[in-house]
Structure 1
Amino acid sequence: MYQIKTYNAIAKEGLAEFGRNYAINKTDNPDAYLVRSIDLHEHEFPSSLKAIARCGAGFNNIPLDRALENGTIVFNTPGGNANAVKELIVASMIMASRNIIAAAEWSANAQPGADITLRTEKEKTNFNGTELAGKTLAVIGLGHIGSLVANIGIDLGMQVIGYDPYLSVESAWNLSGNIQRAETIEDAVQNADFVTVHVPKDHETTNLISYEEFGYFKPNAVLLNFARLGIVDNQAVLSAIEDGTVRKYYTDFSDELILNNDDVVIMPHIGGSTIEAEIGCAKIAAQETKEFLETGNIRNSVNMANVHAPFKSAHRITVLHQNIPNMLGQISTVIAQEGINIENLVNSAKDNYAYTMVDIDALEGHEAQEIVALLEAIPAVTRVRLLNNPYKR
């Protein structure tokens, strides 16, 4: 029986992915957490905790290194809320072009009277806007969300330029052939009417759009940041607004620095706040957690390399360990000295840690306990798990 503990409200459709071999919120020492926005940086992780699944793309509320030190793999759900964010980006570009908010406020505050129709016809010209068709859209980051935004830009009749130095093969397959690829951010933004960023936040992307980059913008551009706070330098964007480089700044992240500015539209982090996105993220989180707990396979991890292989043998040993020389030799030697044949071995590393899966066949009960103990005794090993294939007897 696997134990799952949830924080925040996790969609029931996601929790339904767990079957009868799972218990939800029955203990404070679970095998896995499912979380959304709770801040775990000061949280004490139980030794039982093998996985944390974040129901969303962002994971800055989870201490990744400390989780690894506890032997805990952290997952996110890339793509689970991508369509929701894409639709909000389109809505924001339309709002920036058509003066929708100002026009609606005028109508709501119009005084009743016989001349209301004539006044509307006369004053509606104050809200004249522009169309998206024919405009240029620069998309910085072409992952799950960025590729959807780029593609819909093409569908809206826009000229789309994409920039992503780390573009994956999977993302490339999903992109329209009409999207132009820029070699640098400068090339991407220099003719853009709209610039939208869709990159994860790390040391490379913090202040990715700052004073230098604004120097390449065309005048009166619209900037959108629905990725993460800090990817756009807010002090720099205020200067860009003041000198006419940026006409409007739309963001999903509040910051005291940009409050009470008529040219800044701040939304309360609602990019992924749709019923469909919450359900989708919860389902993905549950599925990847189940796969990891039952087979050891790692997909969509943010603190460990992805490692997966078909589970065809009777047993699988997983070892999370430091990424240092001769670890595979030590693991293999322990198994061989117990007279056990290795049927398959998969290993991958990320930074200071590595993960090894070893598939074996014959194993007696007393041997199982002994081999786990011997592997755990290797100084550089953080966690050892022995999995039994329920379909192999």
Structure 2
Amino acid sequence: MYEVKTFNAIAQAGLDTFTDDFEINQTDEPDAYLIRSVNLLQAELPESLKTIVRAGAGVNNVPLGRATAQGIAVFNTPGSNANAVKELVVSLMIATARNLFEAHNYSDEHTEADVSQRTEKDKTKFNGTELAGKRLAVIGLGNVGSLVANAALALGMKVIGYDPYLSANAAWRINNRVKRVDSIKNAVKNADFVTIHVPKNNETIGLLGTKEITEMKDGAVLFNYSRIGIVDNKAAVKAIRSQKISHYCTDFGEPIIADQEKITITPHIGGSTLEAETNGAVQGANTVMNYLEEGDTTHCVNLPNMQVPFETAYRVTVIHQNVPNMVGQISTQIANREINIENMANAAKEKVAYTVIDVDDLQGKDQEGLISALEGIKEVYKVRVIKHR
């Protein structure tokens, strides 16, 4: 029996996904955490914990370095809220193009008896533009960016895309009418709208700043529905005040952009739909089960992604440092106990590696002794033995 502890409100459909081999919220020493936005950065992680799965895309609320050192695999659920974010961005493109925010404020301030006559006279102040024929630059063509790009094409827009890390799977999702360019400068230089959809890491913090905004078309509209810090908010405020850009919409508020005319802040609601929460919970539950029952690391953010068919009676998984001779040391410890290796797979992600060893039989073998010996290798973080169900 595996134990799962949840944080935040996990959609019931996700909880219902777990099989009878999993108990939910029955202990404070679980095998898995299934979370949403709870802040674990300062939390003590129990020794029993083997995985943390975030029902959502971002994992900036998880202490990745500490989790890795404890041999805890951390996952997200990419794509589960992509459609929700896409629809919000598209709705904001329409709202800014048609000056809906300004029109609402006007109507809210003019509720006197002659409002119909007055608004009929003044409505030309809010003349907007149509999206058809306008140019959209999409920075990042992954799960969200590809959907935004395709939706914009369906609205009759011209779409330019930039993504130097575009995967083969992501490329298949993108309409071939999306023109791909080789730099942010070439993407934004003639765009009426610029939207950014990239993960937050050392390479993307400040990705769109003063230099990039300077290259943008005067009066362009800018969107940040990725993470705070990817757009330099100081540069965005300066561009708004100088009328370099006409509107800035973001899902991530901070004091510098508060109470600024022509800046619209939504309260981190990009993925907040009933459907997205259900998708994330179901995907998260399946991720927990696949990792605990098979050692599958698909969508793992701190380990290499591996999906190895489990066709033997037992599987040994080892999370360890990516240094020379680790596979040799691991296989030697197994061979010393006269255990036959049927299959072995190994992969690395930066400084961390993951080794999967399938063995024919551990019946009558000293499993605890094997685990102890493998964890005795100083570069090893965690060892698990999984019995095929």
State the TM bucket, normalised to the shorter chain.
over 0.9
Q: How does 1:32-51 map to 2 (within 5 A)?
A: 32-51=32-51
1:240 Cα deviation from its structure 2 partner: 1.3
1:102 Cα deviation from its structure 2 partner: 2.6
1:342 Cα deviation from its structure 2 partner: 1.1
1:70 Cα deviation from its structure 2 partner: 0.9
1:220 Cα deviation from its structure 2 partner: 0.4
Range 329-338 or range 260-269, more displaced: 329-338
Secondary structure in 2 aligned to 1:369? helix
Q: How does 1:101-112 map to 2 (within 5 A)?
A: 101-111=101-111
1:367 Cα deviation from its structure 2 partner: 3.1
Whether 1:358 aligns to 2:363 is no
Please give the alpha-carbon distance, in whole angstroms, between the structure 2 residues aligned to 1:26 and 1:55: 20
1:263 Cα deviation from its structure 2 partner: 1.1
Tell me what 1:254 maps to: 253
| Deviations 1:205-228, CA, capped at 9 Å, x for gaps | 111011111121110010000100
TM-score of the pair, normalised by structure 1 = 0.97
**Residue type matched to 1:102 in 2?**
E
Please give the alpha-carbon distance, in whole angstroms, between the structure 2 residues aligned to 1:105 and 1:212: 33
Range 223-232 or range 102-111, more displaced: 102-111
1:374 Cα deviation from its structure 2 partner: 1.9
Please give the alpha-carbon distance, in whole angstroms, between the structure 1 residues aligned to 2:165 and 2:266: 29
Please give the alpha-carbon distance, in whole angstroms, between the structure 2 residues aligned to 1:34 and 1:361: 32
1:110 Cα deviation from its structure 2 partner: 3.6
Tell me what 2:384 maps to: 385
Please give the alpha-carbon distance, in whole angstroms, between the structure 1 residues aligned to 2:240 and 2:108: 29
Whether 1:320 aligns to 2:357 is no
Please give the alpha-carbon distance, in whole angstroms, between the structure 1 residues aligned to 2:377 and 2:385: 16
1:379 Cα deviation from its structure 2 partner: 1.6
Whether 1:54 aligns to 2:46 is no
Where does the alignment leave 5 or more consecutive residues of structure 2 unmatched?
Answer: none
Secondary structure in 1 aligned to 2:310? coil
Secondary structure in 1 aligned to 2:215? coil
Whether 1:72 aligns to 2:72 is yes
Secondary structure in 2 aligned to 1:299? coil
Tell me what 1:137 maps to: 136
TM-score of the pair, normalised by structure 2 = 0.97
Secondary structure in 2 aligned to 1:332? helix
Tell me what 2:289 maps to: 290
**Residue type matched to 2:99 in 1?**
N
Tell me what 1:15 maps to: 15
Tell me what 1:209 maps to: 208
Q: How does 1:342-353 map to 2 (within 5 A)?
A: 342-353=341-352
Q: How many residues align structurally?
A: 389
Please give the alpha-carbon distance, in whole angstroms, between the structure 2 residues aligned to 1:14 and 1:316: 27
Tell me what 1:82 maps to: 82
Please give the alpha-carbon distance, in whole angstroms, between the structure 1 residues aligned to 2:130 and 2:192: 11
Tell me what 2:119 maps to: 120
1:378 Cα deviation from its structure 2 partner: 1.5
1:245 Cα deviation from its structure 2 partner: 1.5
Secondary structure in 2 aligned to 1:316? strand
Tell me what 1:194 maps to: 193
**Residue type matched to 1:78 in 2?**
P
| Deviations 1:167-214, CA, capped at 9 Å, x for gaps | 000000000010000100000000000000000111111110111111
| Deviations 1:131-182, CA, capped at 9 Å, x for gaps | 0000000000010000000110110100000000000000000000100001
1:112 Cα deviation from its structure 2 partner: 5.0
Please give the alpha-carbon distance, in whole angstroms, between the structure 1 residues aligned to 2:18 and 2:258: 43
Please give the alpha-carbon distance, in whole angstroms, between the structure 2 residues aligned to 1:136 and 1:322: 47
1:362 Cα deviation from its structure 2 partner: 2.2
Q: How does 1:146-185 map to 2 (within 5 A)?
A: 146-185=145-184
Tell me what 2:237 maps to: 238
Please give the alpha-carbon distance, in whole angstroms, between the structure 1 residues aligned to 2:111 and 2:250: 33
Please give the alpha-carbon distance, in whole angstroms, between the structure 2 residues aligned to 1:71 and 1:8: 24
**Residue type matched to 2:374 in 1?**
L
**Residue type matched to 2:84 in 1?**
A
| Deviations 1:79-138, CA, capped at 9 Å, x for gaps | 00000000000011011111112323433444354x554433322222211000000000
**Residue type matched to 2:129 in 1?**
T
Tell me what 1:311 maps to: 310
**Residue type matched to 1:367 in 2?**
D
Whether 1:225 aligns to 2:224 is yes
**Residue type matched to 2:353 in 1?**
A
Please give the alpha-carbon distance, in whole angstroms, between the structure 2 residues aligned to 1:212 and 1:126: 32
| Deviations 1:360-383, CA, capped at 9 Å, x for gaps | 112223332332222122221111
Please give the alpha-carbon distance, in whole angstroms, between the structure 2 residues aligned to 1:362 and 1:42: 41
1:235 Cα deviation from its structure 2 partner: 0.7
Range 374-383 or range 87-96, more displaced: 374-383
Please give the alpha-carbon distance, in whole angstroms, between the structure 2 residues aligned to 1:342 and 1:295: 17
Where does the alignment leave 5 or more consecutive residues of structure 1 unmatched?
Answer: none
| Deviations 1:242-267, CA, capped at 9 Å, x for gaps | 22221100000001001111110011
Tell me what 2:25 maps to: 25
Please give the alpha-carbon distance, in whole angstroms, between the structure 2 residues aligned to 1:105 and 1:89: 21
**Residue type matched to 2:65 in 1?**
D
Please give the alpha-carbon distance, in whole angstroms, between the structure 2 residues aligned to 1:200 and 1:15: 27
**Residue type matched to 1:91 in 2?**
S
Please give the alpha-carbon distance, in whole angstroms, between the structure 1 residues aligned to 2:111 and 2:337: 88
Please give the alpha-carbon distance, in whole angstroms, between the structure 1 residues aligned to 2:315 and 2:271: 37
